[in-house]
């Protein structure tokens, strides 16, 4: 067993297969499947993942593994299989799938160095200058020097210098230094007596350890005895004392005290919902559940008690929460119940913090992980339940390579571990609800809110009528009056602005010219603070023009509604309102999100004004009014899910009001209040919406009736892009069944991004068993063009974003 099968860290189709390596004697028994190793590959050294250890190979001469990067495997047997499944179902490279499962910090980094071989007298003048007395220089320095790479090449051939490759990215654990006695305590006393009186500090330290022979943090010891390392050093040198390094975790939640909660008694409805879940945990049976519960119906308590059962059984739990809802409030609920048995993984953590949380999972020091999408890869080995809260959230689908959906991964893992997967939502996706109707998922329903609270009354306001009545502000009379009323009563208001499709663009009032990004076909967004225009797709930036670049008129202005603008007009309308604005700008700094919410919870403000990020998971008892400023801004996006998204968003936002004892009220402003998604959301009528939307999907042949696959072709040359897309469409027509509907080629909704033209082709199908094979063929056919001509093909099976 001295041969390792390794996936190399070179994401190309030619290297997307295992390579065999010999395990050197010194590493036999150390190298194990799931470990990262450093291997020679061609002339360089790179990282690789060990898939398996065998004694078979079809090669006569194997290179040796140079070193291991981990002492324990970073991928479990299950994750190795899962990675293969991901790469095959999403068409990505094996390495990319494995990389996606690990924290960023474990990604290998490469460095090249130039090593001097020759003696000084043999050096050419150019090398003398480059090295300047040193033996090694970073490869990048060549660029900065007057030497060209070809000259260096020559020197390498002459044997004067050599290129060395370094792989970085070993585990970086944060360590703390502890001091312990290196000898038994009776000997300490002897030494104490033998130590001369003038060595005052040394005697002090010895006396300390005679009294407390336990290990102590070096920093603490020095502080306590008011001394420095200088007096510690001789004792360490004589091995009377020893240093011990201990790994410490960068725990962002370490400082915080969580109030412990105990299970609440469940309502009858909750009891009914939890029983099948508990049963499947007990029977170790994989059952996918869809928990459809209205906002405030106590889904979380069902999760918590299911997890409790899993922990009592000695198993582990994964809870996925949308990034945006991973608020301190949410974390608190899990930490409050399970304390230090919980690890939290989300994007606001630093790379080091993420790694440390991951380490706790790997070492089985925690049994529960609460996290965003990528937490689905938590390296647990004995999973008892996987929960996906807010199942409908689009953030569970990764939008770049590998394009996996956390829900699919969860179900795949659930099958492996024979455990239930619970998908929870107040507004499930049509896909999931349809599966529940067909009994693919088992449906559990919570119809009542906790504490018998009623759903807040929703009032639709037709903004067209407001406009005709002469109200040109963005607040209807009703909304404005209600806000004033709540402020007077000392109650709080949440105002929601859906920013997408409502960004502030710049237009000339004279000629109608809209300022667009020179690299992307999209309007630039005006940023007030910097007085600049920015592109949200590439990072292009330019100053706000004072005159129109096309007609030189000075009437160029910005339009649209941002949270800043809403805040301003709110200030004018109700001057004594205290407003907290939450958007990307005000929450960028670490912890800002939490600070603002705490402020609001402490009633230091009357109004919380924000975008998407305030739609989820917030729970403030004093909020009795929710205002939605522009309900239909999502509705007009070129996306077949726009109605569904509108319905979901309105339902979620409405759920923010009246969660406790005070009754809540919601005002929804819209220019199309008669649209079924808005009307049905205002009545909390999911079933009717589901039926109506399903009909639409059937008519237009969209999911869940049809599967979709989106193929995007991009290249800097417009004609070439169109041409390739056309050929691809033809190829697909020739190779897929005549049941498949192939749409295209069409320009992508964003036709040009970063100076690349983008065309797409959409495939709608019900059953195409050869689809993956055909797509693979397609990649093979265009492999050369992709490598050499800068062509890009992206394939997204079951896309969420159609852009």
Partner DNA sequence: AGCACGCCGACT
Partner DNA sequence: GTCGGCGTGCTC
Q: Is 788 in the site for DNA (CB under 7 A)?
A: yes
Cβ pair 745, 762 in contact under 8 A: no
Q: Which is closer to DNA, CB of 39 or CB of 69?
A: 39
The verdict on whether residue 520 carries a ligand-binding annotation is yes
Which residues have a Cβ under 8 Å from the Cβ of 796 and sit 6 or more positions away? 403, 709, 710, 711, 712
**Residue among 24, 33, 40, 182 that touches DNA (CB under 7 A):** 40
CB of 190 to DNA, least distance (A): 58
**And the tokens for 642?**
């726009």
* Residues shown for the chain: 803
CB of 750 to DNA, least distance (A): 24
CB of 569 to DNA, least distance (A): 50
Q: Which is closer to DNA, CB of 61 or CB of 226?
A: 61
Q: Is 787 in the site for DNA (CB under 7 A)?
A: yes
Residues 448-467 that bind DNA (CB under 7 A): none
Q: Which is closer to DNA, CB of 163 or CB of 225?
A: 163
Residues 147-206 that bind DNA (CB under 7 A): 150, 153, 156, 163
**Residue among 30, 32, 62, 450 that touches DNA (CB under 7 A):** 62
Angle formed by the axes of helices 771-781 and 718-735, nearest 10°: 140
The verdict on whether residue 419 carries a ligand-binding annotation is no
CB of 19 to DNA, least distance (A): 4
CB of 28 to DNA, least distance (A): 16
User: What does the alpha-carbon distance between residue 113 and residue 620 come to, in Å, rounded to a whole number?
Assistant: 57
Cβ pair 293, 445 in contact under 8 A: yes
Q: Is 55 in the site for DNA (CB under 7 A)?
A: no
Q: Which is closer to DNA, CB of 150 or CB of 198?
A: 150
Site string for DNA, 255-294 (x = CB under 7 A): ----------------------------------------
CB of 783 to DNA, least distance (A): 10
Residue 376 has what DSSP assignment? G
Q: Which is closer to DNA, CB of 56 or CB of 255?
A: 56
Q: Is 701 in the site for DNA (CB under 7 A)?
A: no
Residue 26 has what DSSP assignment? G
Q: Is 56 in the site for DNA (CB under 7 A)?
A: no
- Name the segment binding DNA (CB under 7 A); options: 18-26, 324-332, 335-343, 388-396: 18-26
Cβ pair 368, 387 in contact under 8 A: no
Q: Is 123 in the site for DNA (CB under 7 A)?
A: no
**Residue among 122, 176, 381, 784 that touches DNA (CB under 7 A):** 784
User: What does the alpha-carbon distance between residue 782 and residue 587 come to, in Å, rounded to a whole number?
Assistant: 43
Going 175 to 48 to 31 to 374, the CA torsion angle's sign is positive
Q: Is 44 in the site for DNA (CB under 7 A)?
A: yes
Q: Is 544 in the site for DNA (CB under 7 A)?
A: no
Q: Is 14 in the site for DNA (CB under 7 A)?
A: yes
DSSP 452-481: GPPPPEEEEEEHHHHHHTT--SSS-HHHHH
- Using alpha carbons, select from 446, 394, 802, 302 the residue that is nearest to residue 616: 394
Q: Which is closer to DNA, CB of 21 or CB of 502?
A: 21
Q: Which is closer to DNA, CB of 14 or CB of 572?
A: 14
Q: Is 45 in the site for DNA (CB under 7 A)?
A: no
- Name the segment binding DNA (CB under 7 A); options: 198-206, 310-318, 384-392, 780-788: 780-788
CB of 151 to DNA, least distance (A): 8
Q: Is 445 in the site for DNA (CB under 7 A)?
A: no
**Residue among 1, 12, 598, 750 that touches DNA (CB under 7 A):** 12
Q: Is 15 in the site for DNA (CB under 7 A)?
A: yes
CA distances from residue 371 to 320, 473, 479, 610 in whole angstroms, order as listed: 5, 40, 36, 23
User: What does the alpha-carbon distance between residue 540 and residue 535 come to, in Å, rounded to a whole number?
Assistant: 5
Cβ pair 625, 613 in contact under 8 A: no
Size of the site for DNA (CB under 7 A): 27
**Residue among 1, 28, 111, 112 that touches DNA (CB under 7 A):** 112
Strand order in the sheet with 756-765: 741-753, 756-765, 707-715, 792-797
- Name the segment binding DNA (CB under 7 A); options: 55-63, 253-261, 564-572, 599-607: 55-63
Q: Which is closer to DNA, CB of 108 or CB of 351?
A: 108
Assign residue 492 a region (left: φ > 0; alpha: ψ between -120 and 50; beta: otherwise).
beta
The verdict on whether residue 551 carries a ligand-binding annotation is yes
Phi and psi angles of residue 69, each rounded to the nearest 5 degrees, phi first: -100, -15
The beta strands (E) that lie in 297-436 are given as 316-320, 342-345, 368-371, 383-388, 421-425
CB count in 10 Å sphere of residue 734: 8
Q: Which is closer to DNA, CB of 733 or CB of 789?
A: 789
Q: Which is closer to DNA, CB of 51 or CB of 628?
A: 51
Residue with tokens 């799938």: 97
**Residue among 31, 35, 38, 41 that touches DNA (CB under 7 A):** 41
Q: Which is closer to DNA, CB of 166 or CB of 603?
A: 166
Half-sphere exposure of 250 (CA within 13 A, CB side): 14
Cβ pair 226, 220 in contact under 8 A: no
Q: Is 94 in the site for DNA (CB under 7 A)?
A: no
- Using alpha carbons, select from 137, 132, 96, 133 the residue that is nearest to residue 114: 137
The helix/strand/coil state of 664 is: coil
Cβ pair 597, 329 in contact under 8 A: yes
Q: Which is closer to DNA, CB of 148 or CB of 271?
A: 148
User: What does the alpha-carbon distance between residue 51 and residue 48 come to, in Å, rounded to a whole number?
Assistant: 9
The verdict on whether residue 517 carries a ligand-binding annotation is yes
Cβ pair 406, 393 in contact under 8 A: no
Q: Is 441 in the site for DNA (CB under 7 A)?
A: no
CB of 96 to DNA, least distance (A): 11
CA distances from residue 607 to 328, 388, 614, 646, 648 in whole angstroms, order as listed: 20, 31, 12, 23, 23
CB of 385 to DNA, least distance (A): 40
The verdict on whether residue 92 carries a ligand-binding annotation is no
The verdict on whether residue 535 carries a ligand-binding annotation is yes
**Residue among 85, 110, 258, 416 that touches DNA (CB under 7 A):** 110
User: What does the alpha-carbon distance between residue 583 and residue 346 come to, in Å, rounded to a whole number?
Assistant: 18
Binding residues for Zn(2+): 508, 511, 517, 520, 535, 538, 548, 551
Q: Which residues in this chain contact DNA in the complex, by CB under 7 A?
A: 10-12, 14-15, 19-22, 40-44, 59, 61-63, 110, 112, 150, 153, 156, 163, 784, 787-788
């Amino acid at each position: 067993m001295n041969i390792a099968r390794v996936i190399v860290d070179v994401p190309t189709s030619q290297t997307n297969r295992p390579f065999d390596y010999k395990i050197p004697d010194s590493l036999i028994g150390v190298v194990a499947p799931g470990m990262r190793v450093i291997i020679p590959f061609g002339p360089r050294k790179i990282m690789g993942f060990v898939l398996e250890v065998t004694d078979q190979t079809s090669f006569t001469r194997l290179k040796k593994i140079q070193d291991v990067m981990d002492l324990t495997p970073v991928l479990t047997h299950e994750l190795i299989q899962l990675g293969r499944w991901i790469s095959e179902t999403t068409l990505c490279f094996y390495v990319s799938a494995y990389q996606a499962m690990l924290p960023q910090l474990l990604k290998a980094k490469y460095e090249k160095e130039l090593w001097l071989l020759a003696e000084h007298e043999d050096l050419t003048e150019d090398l003398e200058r480059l090295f300047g007395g040193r033996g090694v220089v970073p490869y990048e320095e060549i660029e900065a020097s007057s030497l060209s790479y070809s000259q260096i090449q020559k020197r390498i051939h002459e044997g004067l210098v050599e290129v060395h490759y370094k792989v970085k990215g070993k585990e970086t654990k944060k360590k703390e230094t502890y001091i312990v006695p290196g000898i038994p305590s009776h000997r300490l006393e002897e030494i104490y007596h033998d130590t001369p009186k003038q060595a005052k500090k040394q005697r002090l330290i010895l006396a300390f350890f005679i009294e407390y022979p336990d290990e102590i943090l070096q920093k603490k010891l020095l502080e306590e005895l008011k001394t420095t390392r200088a007096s510690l050093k001789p004792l360490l040198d004589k091995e009377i004392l020893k240093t011990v390094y201990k790994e410490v975790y960068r725990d962002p939640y370490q400082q915080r005290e969580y109030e412990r909660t105990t299970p609440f008694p469940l309502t009858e409805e909750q009891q009914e919902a939890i029983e099948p879940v508990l049963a499947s945990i007990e029977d170790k049976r994989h059952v996918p559940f869809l928990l459809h519960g209205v906002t405030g119906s106590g889904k979380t308590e069902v999760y918590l008690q299911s997890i409790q059962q899993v922990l009592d059984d000695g198993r582990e739990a994964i809870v996925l929460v949308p990034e945006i809802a991973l608020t301190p409030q949410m974390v608190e609920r899990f930490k409050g119940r399970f304390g230090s048995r919980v690890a939290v993984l989300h994007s606001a953590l630093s790379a080091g913090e993420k790694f440390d949380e991951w380490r706790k999972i790997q070492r089985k020091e925690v049994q529960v992980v609460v996290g965003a999408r990528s937490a689905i890869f938590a390296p647990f080995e004995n999973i008892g339940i996987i929960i996906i809260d807010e199942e409908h959230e689009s953030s569970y689908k990764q939008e770049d390579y590998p394009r996996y959906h956390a829900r699919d991964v969860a179900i795949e893992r659930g099958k492996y571990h024979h455990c239930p997967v619970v998908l929870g939502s107040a507004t499930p996706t049509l896909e999931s609800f349809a599966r529940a109707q067909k009994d693919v998922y088992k449906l559990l329903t919570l119809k009542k809110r906790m504490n018998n609270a009623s759903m807040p009354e929703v009032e639709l306001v037709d903004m067209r009528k407001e406009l005709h009545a002469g109200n040109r502000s963005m607040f209807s009379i009703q909304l404005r009056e209600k806000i004033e009323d709540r402020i007077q009563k000392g109650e709080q208001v949440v105002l929601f602005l859906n920013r997408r499709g409502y960004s502030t663009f710049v237009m000339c009032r004279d000629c109608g010219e809209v300022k667009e990004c020179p690299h992307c076909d999209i309007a630039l967004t005006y940023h007030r603070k910097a007085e600049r225009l920015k592109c949200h797709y590439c990072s292009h930036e330019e100053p706000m023009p004072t005159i129109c670049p096309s007609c030189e008129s000075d009437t160029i202005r910005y339009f649209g509604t941002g949270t800043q603008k809403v805040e301003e007009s709110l200030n004018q309308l109700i001057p004594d309102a205290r407003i907290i604005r939450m958007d990307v700008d005000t929450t960028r700094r670490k912890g800002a999100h939490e600070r603002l919410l705490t402020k609001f919870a402490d009633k230091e403000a009357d109004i919380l004004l924000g975008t998407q990020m305030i739609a989820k998971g917030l729970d403030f008892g004093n909020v009795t009014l929710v205002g939605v400023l522009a309900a239909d801004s999502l509705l007009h996006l070129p996306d077949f899910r726009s109605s569904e998204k509108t319905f979901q968003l309105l339902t979620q936002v409405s759920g923010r009001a009246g969660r406790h004892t005070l009754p809540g009220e919601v005002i929804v402003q819209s220019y199309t209040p008669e649209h079924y998604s808005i009307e049905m959301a205002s009545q909390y009528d999911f079933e009717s919406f589901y039926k109506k939307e399903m009909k639409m999907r059937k008519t237009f042949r969209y999911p869940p009736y049809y599967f979709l696959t989106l193929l995007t072709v991009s290249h800097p040359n417009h004609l070439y892009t169109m041409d390739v897309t056309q050929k691809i469409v033809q190829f697909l027509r020739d190779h897929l069944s005549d049941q498949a509907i192939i749409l295209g080629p069409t320009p992508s909704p964003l036709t040009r991004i970063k100076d690349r033209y983008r065309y797409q082709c959409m495939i709608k199908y019900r059953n195409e068993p050869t689809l993956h094979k055909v797509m693979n063929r397609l990649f093979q056919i265009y492999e050369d063009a992709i490598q050499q001509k800068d062509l890009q093909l992206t394939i997204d099976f079951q896309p969420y974003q159609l852009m």
